[in-house]
Amino acid sequence: MPKILKLESHLTAKQIHRKYVSCQHSQEKKRWQALSLIAVGGVANTVAQELGMSSGWISQTVHRYNAGGVAGVKNKSKNEGSKTLSTVQVKELEKEIESGKTADRRLWSGTQIKQWVKDKTGKEIHKTTAWRMFGKLKFTSQVPRPFHRERAREEEQIEFKKS
């Protein structure tokens, strides 16, 4: 006989259904839909077939909800709650970038930001993440203007400007 799952009374069946209807994130919406069906008396196997999921997934979703309530249904990304830099560290990084030079007297780049973050926090980030931080701080890449290899000498340039 299929196992009937019981939901803790964090929310009523109507509130769970409203959460399902109003949810914007697809994965989270699927979990709310499963909970909504379970709340009105659905059996794990039947709900699993209806949603195209496994009965184990349904059980896990119910256990997450029972243990954590609404927060248990929310998405849990790898980086949630673990911001790379605090607001104080972001301000510190911004000041360092505004100063113009890194410790090794070079212009800032994604690699230098990556190293700075590792030195300050001990966290390893990808250089693309560092480059995005650079952009979020409203900084742009500063590269010297290119010049032609066969350009005129200084004297020739002055002579040209006179005429």
Would you give the DSSP letter of residue 139? -
Q: How far is CA 32 from CA 13, 53, 67, 107, 149, in A?
A: 11, 13, 15, 49, 65
- Residue 115 token pair: 């190293």
Residues 6+ positions from 7 with CB-CB distance below 8 Å: 16, 35, 38, 39, 62, 65, 66
Place of tokens 């399902």: 20
Helices (H), 40-126: 44-51, 55-68, 70-73, 87-99, 110-121
State the Rg of the chain over Cα: 28
The H or E element spanning position 106 is none
Q: What is the pLDDT of residues 53-92, one digit of tens each?
A: 998 999 999 999 999 898 888 887 554 444 678 888 888 8
Better pLDDT: 144 or 15? 15
User: Is this prediction's pTM over 0.95?
Assistant: no
Residue 39 exposure: Cα atoms within 13 Å on the Cβ side: 22
Q: What is the pLDDT of residues 125-146, one digit of tens each?
A: 888 888 888 888 887 776 777 8
Tell me which residue of 135, 90, 89, 146 sits closest to 109, measured CA to CA. Answer: 135
* Interval 93-108 mean pLDDT: 74
